[in-house]
Amino acid sequence: MKYLCKVAIGLRPASWIAGIPFACIAFACIVLGTHPSNAAPLTLEALRTAREAAKLRERKLMFNNDGGDVLNGVEHTPQALLDVQTSGLAGTQVDSIFYTTRSSGFGLFTHNTQVGEIFTSTGGRYYNNMTQSLIDQGTDVLKVMSGFARQNDMEIFWSMRMNDTHDASGDSALYAFPQLKKDHPEWLMGTSTNRPAYGA
């Protein structure tokens, strides 16, 4: 038996999540229940039914984690990552977690992915970044958070920042400036020496 995890993509409008204005593209990882590994795949209709049920599900409290915990663990272990701001959710009314794998700057992620760039920098204020350490241990922040959610009967959504500009100044401009922007400066609306009149 194994869990069948399907990805649903939906644009979520600005809403209040745990008191924070939040807009994101959420990839909903919905555990549909145990499913024999040799069983036929679920039909499109069954997936749509499950997605509709998840959409209408009543939620008590949603917790938005912007992914900064990957920089603040006392050691580079899954448990230390959870202990920064997630372990304390167990046994509370929180039943949904929204977890951002930083995506700051644009396209830089702290989960192990082939779509985008993995943020492993340890320069400047990122000196304690545990991303690479977790990957070397065979896991990553998203696997750790998903495991915690399953163990505590919570749903979890992966979210990402859109058009993030943290990489426009300070340490972030030095250590978190994505390769995509370096390779394609023509896609940007300004440079460090020719900033736009409004915005970062």
Work out the widest C-alpha separation in the chain, in whole angstroms.
Answer: 59
Split into its structural domains, the chain has a count of 1
pLDDT at 165: 83
In a domain, 193, yes or no: no
Range of the domain at 107: 2-180
pLDDT at 153: 96
pLDDT at 38: 59
In a domain, 198, yes or no: no
In a domain, 47, yes or no: yes
pLDDT at 24: 38
Q: Is 42 helix (H, G, I), strand (E, B) or coil?
A: coil
Note whether 176 and 108 are within 8 A (CB): yes
pLDDT at 21: 34
Burial of 53 (C-beta count, 10 Å sphere; 0-12/13-18/19+): exposed
In a domain, 187, yes or no: no
In a domain, 185, yes or no: no
In a domain, 92, yes or no: yes
In a domain, 188, yes or no: no
Each of the 200 residues of the chain gets a pLDDT tens digit; together they read 233 333 333 333 333 333 333 333 344 443 333 344 456 788 999 999 999 998 999 999 999 999 999 999 999 999 999 999 999 999 999 999 999 999 988 899 999 999 999 999 999 999 999 999 999 999 999 999 999 999 999 999 999 998 888 888 888 989 999 999 999 999 888 887 888 887 76
pLDDT at 96: 97
- CA gap 151, 180 in Å, rounded: 37
pLDDT at 169: 82
DSSP state string for 75-137: SSSHHHHHHHHTGGGTTSSEEEEEEE-B--STTEESS--SSSEE----SGGGTT--HHHHHHT
In a domain, 190, yes or no: no
